[in-house]
């Protein structure tokens, strides 16, 4: 459509895409205590994947995450937000079992 300058078809296609996107189901609202796990991590490929896979493997959903990079030393702290004390404990136990240090902080 762009190559041939078909503005009408392009606008229709974009409008259809917008309508389809608006029809996608939203995330369910979950209530409960929010717990943040702080995990010191090395700055190396695969660490984020290892942590998230480990947490997912025990059936725990990560609501949010963030990484704070240390100014020196090739390290940082990964923050995982998890709803519920029991799921947070399951995630902590799983991560500690594979060698991570985990600090649990209720929010």
**Cα–Cα distance between 60 and 18 in angstroms, integer?**
32
Which domains, from first to last, does the chain contain? Answer: 34-106 (3.30.70.260)
80-94 average pLDDT score: 96
DSSP string, 37-79: EEEEEESSTTHHHHHHHHHHHTTPPP-EEEEEE-SSSSEEEEE
Answer with the residue of higher pLDDT: 19 or 89.
89
| Mean pLDDT computed over every residue of the chain | 90
**Cα–Cα distance between 9 and 18 in angstroms, integer?**
14
Any idea what DSSP says for residue 24? S
For position 26, what pLDDT does the model report? 66
pTM of the predicted protein model: 0.69
């Amino acid at each position: 459509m762009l190559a041939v300058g078909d503005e009408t078809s392009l606008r229709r296609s974009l409008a259809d895409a917008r309508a389809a996107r608006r029809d996608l189901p939203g995330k369910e609202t979950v209530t409960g205590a929010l717990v943040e796990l702080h995990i010191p991590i090395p700055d190396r490929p695969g660490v984020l994947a290892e942590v998230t896979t480990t947490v997912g493997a025990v059936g725990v959903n990560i609501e949010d995450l963030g990484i704070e990079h240390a100014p020196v030393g090739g390290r940082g702290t990964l923050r995982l937000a998890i709803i519920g004390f029991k799921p947070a404990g399951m995630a902590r136990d799983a991560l500690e079992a594979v060698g991570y240090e985990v600090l649990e902080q209720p929010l």
